[in-house]
Chains A and B, each alone.
Chain A
Amino acid sequence: MDPKLFKFDTLSLHGGQRPDAETGARAMPIYQTTSYVFQDSDHAAALFNLEQGGHIYSRISNPTVAALEERISALEGGTGAVATASGQSALFAAVMTLMGQGDHIVSSASLYGGSVNLFQHTLPRFGIETTFVNPRKPEEFRKAIRPETRLVFGEIIGNPGLEILDVPAISKIAHEAGLPLLIDATFNTPYLCSALDLGADLVSHSVTKWMGGHGVALGGVVVEGGRFDWNANGKFPTLTEPYAGYHGINFFEEFGPHAFSMRMRSEAMRDFGPAMSPQNAFYLLQGLETLPLRMERHISNTKILLEFLQSSEEVAWVTHPDLPDHPDHELASRMLPKGAGSIVVFGVKSGSSGGGREAGATFINSVQLASHLANVGDAKTLVIHPASTTHAQMDSATMKQAGLTEDMIRLSVGLEDVNDLIDDFKQALRKAAKATGATK
């Protein structure tokens, strides 16, 4: 007998939303309001004291944002979710919900640069240290765990090196140490794999990217898996001991598998205030409606472009986990059977009259259909040349240390007709090769 629970594609359209009871509106209304009228003083007190569910003030929760939260939670298979103004605020709020001064994080070194900055430079000012380890060596995670470690963190598809994190192996290491694993699943989305099913305990996203898909609204989210026993070892007092900031509430005792999200909303959203706007939540809901369809196209376009780039004589090298020569190809095939995402990195061949930096810059300056900008996961194809933009201050040796090369192009494959993309890349590659003397 099969349970008749809604499946992924249906949840993308309907999760967290019903036709509006008052107006019949089919689309999710934008509840553009800061606050909500209480029925009476008893009702107000009950809401403030978490005796009843409901909305008080849109910094803490909002009906449009809540629909997005429930939808993403359903897609990820989580017990609940809290949306924030951006992916970075989601990560910060997750960390601050779990730990404080003197605590420690073990993180994959292959992360979005903003996350590296947060861990390396900002959190230490608040007394939280991070040890970065090689994502391809799970045992390094084990070795880096200290008595004061409170979190293990990584991205499934590393940025920009596209290393694949062995989530089941690292989850096992984290759990043996009594620690939760938080995965930033921005690059894979729940369509390509479920981080919670692979063993993660918490999942964060920059919803701005593939989840929204349109590049018009910023957003972040943290999803709670609901399986981690916060009470097992006394390491998570924010969840297992009375919280003086909220009437002495013990979140794990009272809310069990919802403890983390209840605490994050009650404290991080209240005190730090990284609220998502209802307008942005609406845009992001529109994006989520087509997530499965878009991801199919992202993946099919990526496969065709990989073939094109590999066969192009102006391309020096191509990296993507779906390629058999990628070091993590076998792991990617297991964890991401539908495809390992739509980010591709490749190098533009240089010649006698110009180096890789010039080749990459010329390619970028020559594309006409692809957009040159600092984002990923848009419906439109995006390209960036790290050596002339985000990492322009680095010399070649420093870039090499960071796993970058001067000729590297990061490509975020969009949804255009793939033949138009190939035509655009062909002409841009020809110009780059000509400019550097790689071809006549």
Chain B
Amino acid sequence: MKLQVRGAETFATTGGRPFVPEQPTIVFVHGAGMNRIVWYLQTRYFAHHGHSVLAVDLPGHGRSQGTFLGSIEELADWIPDLLDSAGVGKAALVGHSMGALISLESAARHPDRVSKLALLGVAPKMPVHPDLLKAANADDPLAYDLMMDWGTGPMGHFGRHPVPGISLICGGQKLLGMENSGVLGNDLGLCNDYQSGMETATKVGCSTLIVIGSEDRMTPPKQGRNLAAAIPNVKTQLIQDCGHMIMLEKSDQTLQALKSHLSST
């Protein structure tokens, strides 16, 4: 589905069903250097069970045009424009990693537009290792390897993907490599610069779910719990044997957690 957001063509998948703005809407927001594809094991379910889904490619990512935005806050302000373009008043936001920070900020800044929040692999701050940042800024494939090494839990390194025959690590490397020059470096820079997670968390009024991978090295469980402690109306869900790429590594458990959270009133 193509939308015009701030004058730029923006692409989103709708989970294999036509987008109906009158239905409860869920917007899935991907993490640094990624795109909409990371949500393929959650979007189809919701789209076929009474929701409208937008798994969006952020500006300059995937099949979306436009230039990168300069901060997590700017991206958070872009979300209501996306909703306007889709004809949606209020939506649930599901974000992963950088996408979780964007969703958190958006919920705090635009409470009238966000009905619920689900944050996967999140922390109040996301400092990025200088070696990773350097490699990402140079478009060095080393960055993709480091991302998939640190982002995948110990068991995930062995494989056994929920979808038969699919490679989690190689798939992630190729997904990162698909993006245009500078995308990953820009995104990691935004994560590195973001400092206000704890303060923002206190302003989130909607019902929030935080999903934590027990073996997450990029946003360690303790950091996810710290953020949860600052959000007034929050539940946490710990997924065992899972690293940072939660929705890919443990897609079924992620879907269950989201179903329970997003389907409840």
Residues of A within 8 A of B (CB): 1, 3-6, 14-18, 46, 49-55, 61-63, 65-67, 69-71, 73-74, 77-83, 225-227, 231, 247-250, 253-258, 261-262, 265
Contact = CB atoms under 8 A, between A and B. Distances in A.
B112 interface: no
B165 A52 contact: no
B contact residues, range: 35 or more
A24 to B, nearest CB: 15
B251 interface: yes
Of listed B150, B155, B163, residue having the most chain A CB within 10 A: B163
A74 B173 CA distance: 12
Interface stretch (B35-43, B201-209, B228-236): B35-43
A-B residue pairs, 7 tightest by C-beta: A53-B162, A53-B163, A226-B174, A61-B164, A69-B165, A256-B37, A3-B145
Interface string B139-168: 000100110111000010111111111110
Given A53-B41, A258-B163, 10 more contacts: A18-B160, A53-B252, A54-B163, A74-B170, A81-B167, A250-B16, A254-B15, A254-B44, A256-B178, A262-B163
A256 B166 CA distance: 12
Interface of B: 13, 15-16, 35-37, 40-41, 43-45, 48, 63, 129, 131-132, 142, 145-146, 148-150, 155, 157-167, 169-171, 174-175, 177-178, 251-252, 255
Is the contact region of chain B dominated by helix, strand, or loop, or is it mixed?
A: helix
Contacts, number: 147
Nearest to B143: A3
Given A61-B164, A70-B165, A78-B167, A3 B149 contact: yes
B52 to A, nearest CB: 15
B167 A247 contact: no
A50 B171 contact: no
Contacts of B167: 70, 73-74, 78-81
A70 B142 contact: no
Contact of A78 (B150, B161, B170): B170
Contacts of A81: 165, 167
B44 A74 contact: no
A5 B159 CA distance: 12
Given A73-B167, A257-B178, A52 B131 contact: no
A52 B40 CA distance: 9
Contact of A77 (B163, B164, B170, B251): B170
Contacts of B16: 49, 247-250, 254
Given A1-B146, A5-B149, A254 B13 contact: yes
A14 B157 CA distance: 9
B171 A74 contact: no
Nearest to B177: A227
A137 B53 CA distance: 50
Contacts of A71: 159
B166 A80 contact: yes
Contacts of A62: 164
A15 B158 contact: yes
Contacts of B164: 53-55, 61-63, 65-66, 69, 265
A61 B145 CA distance: 29
Of listed A52, A78, A227, A248, residue having the most chain B CB within 10 A: A52
Nearest to A68: B165
A345 B150 CA distance: 47
Nearest to A79: B171
Contact of B44 (A15, A51, A78): A51
B165 A83 contact: yes
B175 to A, nearest CB: 6
B131 A70 contact: no
